[in-house]
Amino acid sequence: MQKPCGIQCARTGKDYLIARVTQVEDPLTTLSSGEVDKPASEAKTLSLGQPFFKLLSFSRIRQAGFSIVDQAFFVGGTFLANVMLARTQTKEEYGMFALSYSAFTFLTGLHNAAILEPYTVYASGRYRNYLSQYLRLMAASNAIVGLTLMAILLLLSLFFFWFAPSLYSRSLVGLGVTIGFLFSGIFLRRAFYVQGNSAYAAFSSLTFFATAAVMTFASMKAHALNGFSIFLVLAFGWLIAGLVFARRLPCWRAQASFLRVEPHYWREHWNYSRWVLITACVFQLTTQGYYWLVAAFLSVKDVAELRAMYLLIAPVDQIFIALSFLLLPMFSSRYAMRKIPEFLSLWRKYALATVGLTALFALAVWALGRPALHLVYAGKFDNVVLLLFRLALLPFLMGIGNTVTVALSALEKPKLVFFGFLSSGVATFALGVPLVLRMGLRGAVYGMLLSAATYSAALTVAFFFNLPGRTLQGPDHLGSEDVVGATAV
Please report which confidence band the pLDDT of residue 59 belongs to, taking 50, 70 and 90 as the band edges.
low
Q: Are 153 and 172 in contact (CB under 8 A)?
A: yes
Asked if 233 and 80 count as a contact pair (C-beta separation under 8 A), the reply is no
- How far does Cα 415 stand from its chain's mean position? 17
Task: Please provide residue 363's backbone torsions phi and psi, each rounded to the nearest 5 degrees.
Answer: -65, -40
What radius of gyration, in Å, describes the C-alpha atoms of the chain?
23
Closest CA to 211 of 174, 243, 177: 243
> How many other CB atoms are found less than 10 A from the CB of residue 247?
8
**Can you give the pLDDT at residue 488?**
27
Quote the pLDDT of residue 472. 43
Would the CA dihedral through 122, 128, 129, 133 be positive or negative? Answer: positive
Specify the pTM: 0.63
- The more confident residue out of 211 and 400 is 211
Q: What is the DSSP letter of 25?
A: P
Is residue 35 classed as helix, strand or coil in its secondary structure?
Answer: coil
Nearest partner of 64 among 74, 53, 56, 75, judged by Cα: 56
- Is 30 in contact with 286 (CB distance < 8 Å)? no
Amino acid letter at 45? T
pLDDT (tens digit per residue) in 238-268: 999 989 988 887 666 656 677 777 778 888 7
Highest-scoring range by mean pLDDT, 194-208, 266-280, 306-320 = 194-208
pLDDT tens string 204-227: 999 999 999 999 888 888 888 888
C-alpha separations of 449 from 189, 295, 359, 432 in Å: 30, 19, 14, 9
Amino acid, single-letter form, for residue 484: V
In degrees and rounded to multiples of 5, residue 47 shows phi and psi of -125, 165
What is 388-457 written as a DSSP string?
HHHHTTHHHHHHHHHHHHHHHHHTT-HHHHHHHHHHHHHHIIIIIHHHHHHHTHHHHHHHHHHHHHHHHH
- The tens digit of pLDDT for each residue in 81-117 reads 888 888 888 877 788 788 888 788 888 888 888 888 8
Q: CA-to-CA distance for 138 and 23, rounded, in angstroms?
A: 26
Mean pLDDT lowest for which of 42-56, 123-137, 211-225, 285-299? 42-56
pLDDT digits (tens, 9 = 90+) for 340-389: 888 888 888 888 988 888 899 899 989 988 898 888 888 888 888 999 99
Average pLDDT of the chain is 76
Rounded to the nearest 10 degrees, what angle do helices 91-111 and 131-163 cross at?
140
Nearest to 304, CA basis, from 11, 68, 100, 53: 100
